[in-house]
Chains A and B, each alone.
Chain A
C-alpha cells in the first residue's frame, strides 16, 4: 500500500539524477546526480524488500551504498585532479578524447 509512493519517489529521484548527469556541466553536480540515481535505486530495492518480506533487498542496498562510496571517492579524486590540471571542472570542455 505504500509501495506506489516509494516507487514514484524513486522514479522522481532517478529522473532528477539522470537529468543532472546528462545536462549539468559541473562535475561535482554530476557526481551528486549519480548519487541521487544510486539512492533512487536503493529506495526501490528496500521498498521491494519490505514488500516481499525479504532481507535481500536491504542487503543489496548496503552493497550499493558501499560501491557508491567507493565510486564517489574515486570520482572526487578525478575531479580534484581535473581541477588541478585545468583550473576548471566544466565537463563540456573535457573532450580531449574526441575521435
Chain B
C-alpha cells in the first residue's frame, strides 16, 4: 500500500481537527484491531485452546476496553487542556512507515495505518457553557487507494462521541463475553460464536472511529454481516435462518438509502469530491452545500437509519432477531449495532440539521418517525408473551426516543440516552437470559412466574434495569429521557426554555411513551417474577435453548452462576449511576462543576464541523409531569396485573394461561386493537408475505417466464424461422428452380426424342411416302428458284 502526503484542506474559518495529540488519541486504531486479530486467532486456533477460544476473545476485548478507558482519560485531558499551537500555516511532513499491516487482512488493516502528522490551527471560540478551550478532534488517516483522480482514505477520527462509543461498546462486549462463557457453554458452535463476537466487536469499534463516510459504509455492512451470522447461530432450525435473512435483507433495503445518501454527500460537499467526514460536515456548517443536495442526502440516509436502528416501518427485523442467542441480542440488538444508525446521524449531524431544518421548526421527518416509533413500539411490547420480544420492542421504542431527540435538535440528549440505554437495556436482556437459562424457555406466560423466589439477585437487577428504563428518578433513564423531552422545546409553561423549535407533538408522544414504558415493563415483571411458577412441564427442549446441554436437571429453577450475575451487577451499577454524568445545568443541588459533564466532553459545541444548536434549559415542572406519567403508567399496570389478575388467578385457582380473557373479551374495539398489535400492525404480512413473497414468487416467476417465453422464444423463433426459411429455400429454389432448370434440359431432350421417334414407323411405304414428298418439294423449290 502506498503512503501519500495528506493534502491540507483549508476550509473557510479553519477546521477543528488536529493530527497531533496524545498518543492514545492518535492510535485509537489499535482498539478495533485487537478484536479483529482475535477473530482470526479464534477461527484458526480456537478449538485447540483449553477454553475453546473464549479466552482469546475475552483477552482481546478486555485489552480494548483498557485502551478505550485510557483513551477516554486522554480525551478528557485533551478536551480541557489542549492548546492549539499558534496560527501558523499547515506544515506538511511526510513520514515513512513500513508497517503495512497486510497480514491482518480484514477490515481494520487499511484503516489502521499510521500516517504523517499534520497540524492545523483553530481559534474557534467555544459556544455555550465553558468558554476557554475550543473543541478539537483528532484525525489520523492514510491513503487507501486512488482511482480516477479520487482519493479514498482510511483513518480514525477521535472526538468525544467516538471515545464514548469506544468505551461503551468495549465494556458491554466484554461483559457479554464473560456472560456467554456460561450461557453458551457446551453449545455446538461455541468457538465459532466467540469468533464472530470478536469480529462484531471489531467491526463496531471500527465503525465508530471512522473518519470518512466510505469507511462508515464498510463498518456498517460488516456489523450487518456479523449480525446475520450471529442471529442465525442455530441455523439448523429454519426459523433462525429465516430471521437472519430477514435482518440482513431489511437492512439491505435501508442500505439503498445509505448508498444514495453517501454518494450524494460525496459529490455535493464543497467541490472537494471527498468522503472525509470532517470536511463534509464543515462545508455544510459553513453553508457551502446546496440545500437540495442536503435534503436528498438526509432523506436517503433516513432510510438507512430506519432499517438499521429499527425505526417504524423498517423495524420488523428486530423482534425476529431475538431468535439469536441472548448475549447476541444484548450486545447487538440493544446496545451497539442498532444504535449505529443513531450514531451515524449524530456523526453527520450537520446533514440532518440543515437538510431537515431542525432548528426553528416544529415538525420534520426524523423527529416524527422517531416519535411514531416510540409509541408504536411501546404498544407492541404489551402484547408479547416472549420476554425477549418485549425487550426488543422496548428497544425499538427507545431508539425512537433517540431518533426523535436528534430530530428536535437535542443532540446531547440523544447521545446521552444512547449511552445510558446501552447499559440498562443490556442489563435487562442479560437478566432475561439469566431467567431463561434457568427455565429453558422465553415464554413468560407459559413457563415463568414467581421467579423472584428462585432468582432473587436477577430479580433485583431486573427491577433496577426496568426502573432506569422507565425513567424513574434518580436512575439513569430519568436524566436522559428528561433531557430529550426538554429538548423538544414544546414545554413552555413553568420555566424552562425551548430548544430548537416547538415540537409539541413530539413532546406529547414522548410523554405517552414514558407511560407506556413503565406499564409494559411492569407487566413483564409481573408475568416473569411474580405469581405462581408455571414452568416445569415441558419435557422436550424448545426455543433457542434447544441444544443447550447443561448439567442441572429439570427441577426447580435456581439462580445463575457468577459469570452471569457479575455482568448484571456491573450493568445495574451503571444504570443507577450513569445519570450523574449529565446533570442538567440548573440542578442546584450539586456544584456547578458537576453539571453537564457528558455534554461538555462529548458534544462538539463550537467545532467547525458541528452546527450551532440550541439547548433547552431544564424544567422542573416538565420533569415532575413526565415522572408522574411514568409512575402513573406503572401503577396502572401494577394494579391491573398485580392486583386484579393476581386476584383472579387465585380465585379461580388457575394458572395465568387459563384465565378468561379480560378486556378483549368484552370490548370488540379492544379486541381489534389487540389483534392489530399481535399481528404487529400486519407489517410483517406486508413485508414477508406481500412484498418479499411477491418479489420472490410471482414477480420472479414472471420475469423468468418473460425470459423463457418472450425473450428466449424470440431467440428460438429466430432459430426455427431460419431453419424453416432454409428449408423453403432449399426445396423451392434450390431443388425446384435451379436444379429444375438443369433437369429440364434433360427432359426437353427426352421429350423431343419421344416425339420424333414416331417418324420411324417401320413401314417401308411410309418411308417411301416421305421420300417422294421430300423429292417433290425439292423439285418444286428447285423450279421456283430457277424461274427467279
Contacts and interface: CB of A to CB of B under 8 A. Distances in A.
Interface of A: 18, 21-23, 30, 91-92, 94-99
Contacts of A97: 760, 762
Contacts of B758: 99
B764 interface: yes
A99 B763 contact: no
Contacts of B765: 21-23, 30, 91-92
B96 interface: no
Interface in B748-775: 757-765, 768-769, 772
A95 B758 CA distance: 12
Contacts of B764: 91, 94
A65 B758 CA distance: 36
5 contacts: A91-B765, A97-B760, A98-B760, A99-B759, A99-B760
Nearest to A93: B763
Contact of B757 (A92, A94, A99): A99
Interface in B229-266: none
A22 B762 contact: no
A92 B762 CA distance: 9
Given A99-B757, A99-B758, A92 B768 contact: no
Contacts of A96: 762
Given A98-B762, A99-B759, 15 more contacts: A21-B768, A22-B765, A22-B769, A22-B772, A23-B765, A30-B765, A91-B763, A94-B762, A95-B761, A95-B762, A95-B763, A97-B762, A98-B761, A98-B763, A99-B760
A22 B768 CA distance: 7
Nearest to B772: A18
Max chain A CB contacts within 10 Å: which of B759, B761, B765? Answer: B765
Nearest to A21: B768
A94 to B, nearest CB: 7
Contacts of B761: 95, 98-99
A95 B760 CA distance: 9
Chain B contact residues, majority secondary structure: helix
Interface string B336-355: 00000000000000000000
A57 to B, nearest CB: 20
B772 A99 contact: no
Which residue of B760, B762, B769 has the most chain A CB atoms within 10 A of its CB atom? B762
Nearest to A95: B762
A27 B719 CA distance: 77
A94 B760 CA distance: 13
- Which are the 10 A-B pairs with shortest beta-carbon distances? A99-B760, A95-B762, A98-B762, A99-B757, A97-B762, A95-B763, A22-B769, A21-B768, A98-B761, A22-B765
B763 A94 contact: yes
A99 B765 CA distance: 15
A23 B768 CA distance: 10
A23 B769 CA distance: 9
A71 to B, nearest CB: 14
Contacts of A22: 765, 768-769, 772
Contacts of B769: 22
A39 B88 CA distance: 155
A24 B762 CA distance: 16
Residue of A18, A22, A23, A92 with most chain B CB atoms under a 10 A cut-off: A22
Contacts of B759: 99
Nearest to B757: A99
Contacts of A99: 757-762
Contacts of A18: 772
A99 B759 CA distance: 7
B772 A92 contact: no
B773 to A, nearest CB: 10
A98 B757 CA distance: 9
A91 to B, nearest CB: 6
Contacts of B757: 99
Contacts of A98: 760-763
Contacts of A95: 761-763
B750 to A, nearest CB: 15
A35 to B, nearest CB: 15
A91 B766 CA distance: 10
A99 B300 CA distance: 102
Interface in B465-483: none
Contacts of A91: 763-765
A18 B277 CA distance: 132
A94 B768 CA distance: 14
A91 B764 CA distance: 7
Nearest to A34: B768
Most buried by B among A30, A96, A99: A99
A32 to B, nearest CB: 14
Contacts of B768: 21-22
A94 B763 CA distance: 6
A38 to B, nearest CB: 14
B119 to A, nearest CB: 124
A30 B762 CA distance: 16
Contacts of B763: 91-92, 94-95, 98
B779 to A, nearest CB: 13
A97 B765 CA distance: 13
Interface in B330-386: none
A8 to B, nearest CB: 18
Nearest to B768: A21
A50 B443 CA distance: 159
Nearest to A23: B765
B629 to A, nearest CB: 130
Nearest to A18: B772
A21 B765 CA distance: 7
The residue among B758, B760, B764 with the most chain A CB atoms within 10 A of its own CB is: B764
Nearest to B760: A99
A21 B771 CA distance: 12
A18 B764 CA distance: 13
A23 B763 CA distance: 12
A22 B775 CA distance: 14
A13 to B, nearest CB: 15
A65 to B, nearest CB: 22
A24 B764 CA distance: 11
A87 to B, nearest CB: 19
A78 B322 CA distance: 129
